[in-house]
């Protein structure tokens, strides 16, 4: 709540990528990722070229890789699956480092890992260089339905308020000897989630009334 205005992944900067209009960045990311996804599995040269384009974009953004790399942990569960694929696939066997694995599985697993990694790094670059407010304006320019952009705007605005409220509830629970992860304490956890819902809902009502009293007529001023 008391934090800065950016969201958690945003990296403050003034690079050309930071200044670029958000709608172009979203379209660029979408186009780039569609090309990556459509790249054939064994076109390793193309993967290298795509990775270089992405790293070039990261360099232009001047967001340090040491900032982006630790944040790629969201990929871990998926990377585990990609590593498993060569072992659970069928097809002719081949030997890698003394372990027998499926050959088409190895190719597929590698491609999954490469595509997934490029995707996560590209999305992180967008998130690191784009303020939420700019992103919303960009989505508006891309003709996203107005209602959807408004809902997203409220979510972005109140994200920290509601998650901080929940964090305070969990701290209160833990300090009273309750472990929110343990199924034994689910009834307590559920009651606090219920309270969180009621508080969020009532906050929504208050926000709506406050907006009405300031002349809200169903659409936000541009």
Q: Which of residues 132-161 bind another protein (CB under 8 A)?
A: 132, 135, 145, 147-148, 150-159, 161
Indicate if the alpha-carbon torsion angle 169, 170, 174, 178 is positive or negative: positive
Residues 81-140 that bind another protein (CB under 8 A): 85, 88-91, 102, 104-105, 108-109, 111-112, 114-116, 118-120, 122-124, 126-127, 130, 132, 135
Q: What is the largest CA-CA distance in the chain?
A: 72
Cα–Cα dist 148/130, whole Å: 19
In the list 20, 55, 78, 137, the residue contacting another protein (rule: CB under 8 A) is 78
CB of 9 to another protein, least distance (A): 6
Neighbours of 56 (CB within 10 A): 10
Q: Hey, which residues between 17 and 56 contact another protein (CB under 8 A)? A: 26, 29-30, 33-34, 36-38, 41
Nearest CA to 124 out of 48, 33, 44, 52 is that of 33
Please say which residue, 15 or 89, places its beta carbon nearer to another protein.
89
Tokens of 153: 């705007």
The rounded distance, in Å, linking the Cα atoms of 119 and 160 is 26
State the minimum distance, in angstroms, from the CB of residue 21 to another protein. Answer: 15
Number of residues that bind another protein (CB under 8 A): 84
- For another protein, the closer CB: 45 or 218: 218
Q: What is the dihedral of CA 41, 46, 50, 53, to 10 degrees?
A: 180
Applying the rule CB under 8 A, the residues between 168 and 197 that interact with another protein are 180-181, 183, 186-187, 189-191, 193-197
Q: Which of 207, 189, 199, 135 is nearest to 165 (CA)?
A: 199
Task: For the CB of residue 62, give the shortest distance to another protein in the complex, in Å.
Answer: 18
């Amino acid at each position: 709540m008391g934090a800065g205005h950016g969201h958690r992944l945003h990296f403050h900067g003034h690079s050309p990528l930071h200044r670029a209009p958000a709608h172009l960045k979203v379209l660029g990311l979408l186009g780039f990722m569609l090309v990556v996804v459509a790249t054939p599995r064994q076109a390793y040269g193309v993967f290298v070229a795509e990775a270089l384009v992405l790293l070039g974009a990261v360099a232009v953004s001047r967001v340090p890789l040491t900032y982006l790399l630790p944040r790629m942990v969201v990929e871990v569960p998926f990377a585990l699956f990609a590593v498993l694929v060569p072992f659970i696939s069928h097809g002719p066997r081949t030997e890698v480092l003394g372990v027998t694995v499926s050959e088409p599985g190895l190719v597929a697993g590698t491609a999954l890992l490469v595509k997934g990694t490029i995707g996560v790094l590209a999305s992180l670059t967008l998130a690191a260089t784009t303020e939420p407010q700019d992103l919303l304006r960009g989505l508006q320019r891309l003709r996203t339905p107005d209602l959807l952009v408004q809902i997203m705007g409220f979510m972005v605005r109140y994200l920290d308020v509601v998650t901080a409220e929940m964090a305070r509830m969990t701290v209160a629970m833990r300090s009273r000897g309750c472990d929110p992860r343990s199924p034994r304490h689910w009834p307590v956890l559920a009651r606090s989630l219920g309270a969180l819902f009621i508080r969020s809902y009532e906050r929504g009502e208050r926000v709506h009334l406050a907006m009405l009293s300031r002349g809200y007529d169903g659409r936000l001023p541009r």
